[in-house]
Amino acid sequence: MLVRQRKVTALALIAMLAAAACSTEEKRSTGSPAPNGAAPAPAKRGGTFRMAISEPRWIDPALGEFLISKRLFVGLTMFDGNPELKMRPAVADTWAATADCMQWTFNLRPNKFSNGEDVTAESFIRGWTRAADGRAASLVAAHLAGIQGYKELHGEVGSPTATTFSGLSAPNPQTLVVRLSSPDCEFDKKSNHTVMSPVPSVAGAADNKTFNEAPIGNGPFMFKPGTKWEHDKGISLVRNESYFDAKPNIDGIEFTVFPAQNASENIYKAFQVGELDIAAVPLGLRSQSDATYSPQGGFIRHLGYAISFMVPNNAKGPMANADARKAVSLALDRDAINSGISQGYAIPATALIPPPFGDFHQPGTCEGCKYDPVRAKELAAKGGLAPGTRLKFLAPASPVPQAMKEMLERTLDIVVDLQSPPGGALLQSMRAGDFDIGLNGWHADYPTPDNFLFPLLGTGSGENDSRYSNPEFDALIRRERTQKDDNERRRIFLEAERIAIGRDQALIPTFYIPSLMVVDGQKWTGVTLNFFDHPRFETMSLK
């Protein structure tokens, strides 16, 4: 059973969809390139970047928060957004897997926690062990599930039978050896997850509330000396002068807590009056914001590693038939939804793996993703989706699913029963299989298509709400995990997507989800968003 903190919720995807940008430009820096190829001026140091957050549930990396803990902790590898999806050295400067990808060895470079303690292989073992411990009830522990000994440490019903992680060892302080319970030739990509952070000896167990109030890490930032997390108020970070890599240009980050309710509008207003340096653009203000802030280089469009999609129930009911699923997909006029509701600020999807995946994105894989009402009717008839058929559609209350409902009813002459249970009840209904079609979304945890294909479509995955189960597809996923050759692995990924999406239409891709943000472009330069859709605090600077 998997637990994914990075999953985009149905509600959130609707909000993001509405806030999405139509441009395929991945990101736009607020800075200007040096004219005529001249060497850029050295980045100015100083300044405190002010950003709003909602009150985190925790910031200990073992428990599943990203924005703060990614500033405080750096793991073995990091990802810079390259289209080949290659990991870059972080704490580990070299790493290698055995021929069968069952064992990985990471060689660490010397670096320290901000309290002066050395970061060693034991620091990683400590961090991963406390996160995997069942008593921690971590929401992200499952990212460690591929390591030998996880089941014993985590337990099945809260009663672990081990206290150490048998798959981890440190032959010397600078070498970490990881033994897996099944082959994974992309384990290095997973090591970028916050749950795989090293922690100092003072961290204690994952439910150590003292450590959670001001975690000590090895990242580019640290808690401002003498401060800790001020609940419901904010968090102050400063540059970690002992950081082993290029130090940030900015002196620090001031995170101010905003209540979740009405947050978008309040945060945007606070940005407008100069209380914040960055803000997400609220739904109704996209065009206005674009027009106001783009000329001063303050409007950011960022196409993330994410997608929204319709989830047909492959296991039972009318959607168990592939032709019926294609009929539903062909009946959706994505362009009309984009122009009519999203005001052009969305990108109709034509494949499951989104464009930022570079060489792994196959535009047009989803043949049913183009609007074709005639073909939709033909396939509906062929697939047993007769006029008058009732479909239970689970989605958040929003104009987008309402438009989808009307399109399906009009084109296919069926009855769509749109239901919008509040909060987590929607997800619980989806997980229980009590639906015909649903609306959901996904954001990558790691930069690999495996992180889309297996969780969403693999047999036995806890996130596979569509209940798609295809031995041919599963065999491809197993094969790619044992494949060390990047080109061959890529070929398998593409084939697996063509089978599940192109042929079987197991999921119905709808839109890619760009983030829209505004930043004080007269004050800051180099503000772009990273893989996690967070500002690149590490490289931004004052103008």
Partner 1 sequence: MGFVLIGASMVLFVCLFVLPGDPLQTVQGEGARLDAAARATLAARYHLDESLPRQYGHYVARLARGDLGESYRLRRPVNDVLGQRIANTAKLAVGALLVEVVVGAAAGAFSALARSSFVDVLVTVATTAAIGVPVFVVGLLLQDVFAVRLHLLPLQGARDGLRSLVLPAVTLGAIHSAMIARLTRASLLDVLGSDYVRTAAAKGLPPRTVVLNHALRTSLTPILTYVGAGFGGLLGGAAIVETIFNWNGVGLALVTAISTQDNPIVIGVVTYAVVVFVTVNLVVDLACALLDPRIALR
The 10 Å Cβ neighbour count of residue 29 is 17
Task: Provide, rounded to whole angstroms, the least separation between the CB of residue 114 and partner 1.
Answer: 24
Nearer to partner 1, 59 or 92 (CB): 59
Nearer to partner 1, 98 or 161 (CB): 161
- Could you tell me if 245 and 80 are in contact, meaning their C-beta atoms sit under 8 angstroms apart? no
- Could you tell me if 124 and 132 are in contact, meaning their C-beta atoms sit under 8 angstroms apart? no
- Could you tell me if 418 and 382 are in contact, meaning their C-beta atoms sit under 8 angstroms apart? no
Task: Provide, rounded to whole angstroms, the least separation between the CB of residue 58 and partner 1.
Answer: 7
Task: Provide, rounded to whole angstroms, the least separation between the CB of residue 65 and partner 1.
Answer: 11
Cα–Cα distance, 522 to 543 (Å, whole number): 7
Cα–Cα distance, 406 to 520 (Å, whole number): 41
- Could you tell me if 136 and 63 are in contact, meaning their C-beta atoms sit under 8 angstroms apart? yes
Task: Provide, rounded to whole angstroms, the least separation between the CB of residue 52 and partner 1.
Answer: 9
Instruction: Dig out the tokens for 59 from the structure.
Output: 């910031």
- Could you tell me if 523 and 543 are in contact, meaning their C-beta atoms sit under 8 angstroms apart? yes
Cα–Cα distance, 235 to 231 (Å, whole number): 8
Task: Provide, rounded to whole angstroms, the least separation between the CB of residue 506 and partner 1.
Answer: 20
Task: Provide, rounded to whole angstroms, the least separation between the CB of residue 442 and partner 1.
Answer: 9
Nearer to partner 1, 55 or 100 (CB): 55
Nearer to partner 1, 229 or 468 (CB): 229
Task: Provide, rounded to whole angstroms, the least separation between the CB of residue 502 and partner 1.
Answer: 27
Residue 192's alpha-carbon distances to 62, 195, 543, in angstroms, are 13, 9, 30
Nearer to partner 1, 67 or 407 (CB): 67
Q: Fill in the amino acid letter for 434.
A: D
Find residue 103's DSSP bridge partners: 179
Nearer to partner 1, 40 or 423 (CB): 423
- The secondary structure of residue 529, as a DSSP letter, is B
Cα–Cα distance, 37 to 126 (Å, whole number): 47
Length of the chain, in residues: 543
Nearer to partner 1, 125 or 142 (CB): 142
Nearer to partner 1, 297 or 441 (CB): 441
Q: Is 309 exposed, middle or buried (0-12, 13-18, 19+ CB in 10 A)?
A: buried
Nearest to 440 by CA among 393, 402, 407: 393
Task: Provide, rounded to whole angstroms, the least separation between the CB of residue 465 and partner 1.
Answer: 11
Nearer to partner 1, 3 or 381 (CB): 3
Instruction: Dig out the tokens for 291 from the structure.
Output: 């027009």
Q: Fill in the amino acid letter for 200.
A: P
Cα–Cα distance, 62 to 351 (Å, whole number): 33
Backbone dihedral region of 461: left (phi > 0), alpha (psi from -120 to 50 degrees) or beta? Answer: beta
Task: Provide, rounded to whole angstroms, the least separation between the CB of residue 124 and partner 1.
Answer: 22
Task: Provide, rounded to whole angstroms, the least separation between the CB of residue 310 and partner 1.
Answer: 16
Task: Provide, rounded to whole angstroms, the least separation between the CB of residue 118 and partner 1.
Answer: 30
Find residue 416's DSSP bridge partners: 391
Instruction: Dig out the tokens for 187 from the structure.
Output: 């384990």
Residue recorded with tokens 């996209």? 286
Task: Provide, rounded to whole angstroms, the least separation between the CB of residue 61 and partner 1.
Answer: 15
Cα–Cα distance, 209 to 62 (Å, whole number): 12
Nearer to partner 1, 25 or 275 (CB): 275
Which residues lie below 8 Å from residue 428, measured CB to CB, with a gap of 6+? Answer: none
Nearer to partner 1, 78 or 426 (CB): 426
Instruction: Dig out the tokens for 335 from the structure.
Output: 């362009």
Nearer to partner 1, 121 or 141 (CB): 141
Residue recorded with tokens 């672990």? 160
Helix and strand numbers, DSSP H then E, in the chain: 16, 19
Q: Fill in the amino acid letter for 394.
A: L
Give contact residues for partner 1 (rule: CB under 8 A): 1-12, 55, 57-58, 64, 134-139, 141-142, 154-160, 207, 209, 231-233, 256-262, 266, 269-270, 272-273, 275, 422-428, 431, 462-463
Task: Provide, rounded to whole angstroms, the least separation between the CB of residue 215 and partner 1.
Answer: 15
Residue recorded with tokens 């709400």? 465
Nearer to partner 1, 201 or 262 (CB): 262
